[in-house]
Amino acid sequence: MEKRRRLDALRPIPKAALEKLRERFELEWTYNSNAIEGNTLTLRETMLVLKEGVTIGGKSLREHLEVTNHKAAIDFVYGLLGKKRVSARDVLEIHALILDRIDAPNAGFYRRERVRISGSEYTPPS
């Protein structure tokens, strides 16, 4: 309850503060999502790619594209906020944005083969 009162005391949150929070959220979302998939860019390197358009030496083009594509997908998701329903087509568009210039044959399509999760007995549907 105390945290709620402290938060309410800050309202309305200034627009600049909200924008800074959104930028931080998007940075960490992008970094963590890509790190889970094996991307080796650090949080700082991810920020440099997003904010400055910097190319990080010793890192693959794929890793850079994973960062910029993830940001494009986030922007697309924000555009869906006013929709009452998110369609299957919307989900496939997010997938296409994530894989843009990385895996063209599979971008925007449901997977066609079985995959495994390392260390898990669960097999996701194909």
Query: Which domains does the chain carry?
Result: 2-99 (1.10.3290.10)
Q: What is the per-residue pLDDT for 67?
A: 99
Pair of tokens at residue 54: 């910097």
pTM of the model: 0.84
Give 55's Cβ-side CA count (13 Å radius): 5
Task: Give the integer Cα–Cα distance in Å for 58 and 62.
Answer: 12
Identify whether the C-beta of residue 46 lies closer than 8 Å to the C-beta of residue 23: no
CA–CA–CA angle 78, 81, 82 (5° rounding): 135
Letter for the amino acid at 115? V
19 falls in which pLDDT band (50, 70, 90)?
very high
Condensed to tens digits (0 to 9), the pLDDT of residues 29-66 reads 999 999 999 999 999 999 999 999 999 999 999 999 99
Residue 107 Rama label (left phi>0; alpha psi -120 to 50; beta)? beta
Condensed to tens digits (0 to 9), the pLDDT of residues 70-102 reads 999 999 999 999 999 999 999 999 999 999 999
